[in-house]
Amino acid sequence: MIDSVAESLLHLDSSADAFRDSVTRQLTASFAEAWRGTAYTYRDVAAEPVPLVTAAYTTLGRRVERHGVLPLDKVAALVETEAEDREWARTLPLIEEVLAARTILLGVPMYNFSVPASLKAWIDRVSFPGAFTDPGSGLSLLRDTKLVLVLARGGGYGPGTPRHGCDFQTPYLRAQFGRLGVSEVNSSIVEAEFTRADDIPALAGFQDRAAKSLAAARTAVADLATG
């Protein structure tokens, strides 16, 4: 679980909905309120979108990769254009926020079977080549980082449901953060399903299941924040 000593939390929300309409925002807020730590950083990538990466970002990234894994303070020396300088200036602070966090909390609704574009833009930018690899040892700088994914879906995607196999939200996030070096044992996933059961007629028969799923998610969030 989460060690409250010398603890730092990076909290990201990505729902386009306002707080009153967003299950993920409400759940992550509950986590943050119950969490005990020493430093807290909040980023709302829906309200303040991270700029999409450009050709200058990818060009700089390829140039860095040709030099192997570099310390972050060596990247600026490889910048060749004003556009690349702007891209690195946009990218480095986001990477540093991730590196400074002992725990990363993400609120992620399912949009069109996957994650919101606002979150994908943040992920694309922080996934700069070698950013989370120790240049000396080759080990992941995120190997001790804890990841809490708070996910919400309007319907159900479990085995036996009509949309089983259409969940590209959870597998993507698992794969992406695994690639960045977050250990599976340090990753926790909280899922609330059938969140639209109260307002979509076709899901009206799943209201009890929705209530149980949300209650379980609230309990899991509380346990993770205080355990």
For residue 213, what are its two tokens? Answer: 């799923």
Picking from 25, 13, 9, the residue whose alpha carbon sits closest to that of residue 116 is 13
Ligand-binding annotation for 15, yes or no, is yes
DSSP codes of every residue in 91-131: HHHHHHHHHH-SEEEEEEE-BTTB--HHHHHHHHHH--TTT
E strand spans, the chain: 8-13, 39-44, 103-109, 146-152, 187-192
State the CB neighbour count (10 A cutoff) for residue 144: 11
Sign of CA dihedral 211, 215, 216, 220: positive
Amino acid at 70: L
Sign of CA dihedral 198, 202, 204, 210: negative
Ligand-binding annotation for 111, yes or no, is yes
Residues tagged in the binding site annotation: 15, 110-113
Residues tagged in the binding site annotation for FMN: 15, 110-113
